[in-house]
Homo-oligomer: A and B are copies of this chain.
């Protein structure tokens, strides 16, 4: 594992036209890049996470997990605006930035790391927004994209949630002052918690069995989570990042969502979580319908949106199937000829027609054919 900070010392122009004088992008890498076939796995983090993907996505990313440093060169960058090492706001004069600005900072890092061919990009929630935008902006080659509990565009519902959170941040009169905004941040996180889980999950796990009239478990749980975030995050970053999330719309300037999604030429796996109340599965199905050849898989979970962090066993199974157990199918010779004439990427395992079996069979064992024999 390596933690570094990449410093970009030129002005960085934002989508709004405003400029940052330069950029710092904190990032983690795990493993080493291979020459030849790319083993780069680029992970994108969600709202309050950091670049240490092993710390927040264990079970999927780790020494012995599906995405491990033995097989992969894993990269995760802390987003612009986050307090975990990248350039972030220190007062309310910081310019607003969009998901595209966040991703363009990632692109600078990719260039710095000389990454121009990626095996897998993957992200959940806001990480999925970045992955999708990255897919559309990256000038190199991406083989596979995995989007978990994400959408092609921020929803009106997500924006409403974020506005409620920002009202909570702004209710704190110390918001925007150095070190201020802690109580507003607590409240904003508490609002977030309501959308990450489900009403049913709260009822199932936080219902008191006695007859108390105050100090309820559900209230303690919410307050505990709120206080925990206050200790590790920043109110200004929370404000700016929710604004940034609101700007997510891969259709912007690209002729709308269907057209933008139709232009994606990457093997894509889209994973929805059946109990997700923040980004319901309908949003994932929409992406799957519009990205050519995309595969949609749904995970059953009691954890709602948070399932993308919790259900790593199920995620691993679905991702393994998608990436490793690639579909092998029989092709008629005519279709093969078409594929070979076209641009589409495919791997040819074997060609075997009935009359060829005799030619290529030695003692009942089929051996690969080097050339296509004539009859």
Contact = CB atoms under 8 A, between A and B. Distances in A.
Contacts of A162: 219
A285 interface: no
A248 to B, nearest CB: 10
Nearest to A219: B163
Chain A: interface residue count, which band? 35 or more
Given A213-B247, A213-B252, A199 B157 contact: yes
Count chain B CB atoms within 10 A of each CB in A96, A191, A193 and give the residue with the most: A191
Given A171-B186, A183-B170, A222 B163 contact: yes
Interface in A183-235: 183-184, 186-187, 190-191, 193-195, 199-200, 202-203, 205-208, 211, 213-214, 216-219, 221-223, 226
A164 interface: yes
A170 B173 CA distance: 11
Interface in A138-180: 155-157, 159-164, 167-174
Contact of A160 (B168, B184, B214, B218): B218
Interface in A234-266: 243, 246-247, 249, 251-253
A249 B172 CA distance: 33
A163 B191 contact: no
Interface in A16-69: 16
A175 to B, nearest CB: 9
A193 B161 CA distance: 9
A195 B216 CA distance: 20
Main secondary structure of the interface of A (DSSP, over half): helix
Contacts of A203: 155-157
Interface of A: 15-16, 96, 98, 155-157, 159-164, 167-174, 183-184, 186-187, 190-191, 193-195, 199-200, 202-203, 205-208, 211, 213-214, 216-219, 221-223, 226, 243, 246-247, 249, 251-253, 277-278, 280
30 contacts: A155-B199, A155-B207, A156-B203, A156-B208, A157-B202, A157-B203, A157-B218, A159-B206, A159-B216, A160-B218, A160-B221, A160-B222, A162-B219, A163-B218, A164-B190, A164-B193, A164-B226, A167-B183, A168-B168, A168-B190, A170-B183, A194-B194, A199-B277, A211-B249, A211-B252, A213-B246, A213-B247, A213-B249, A214-B246, A214-B247
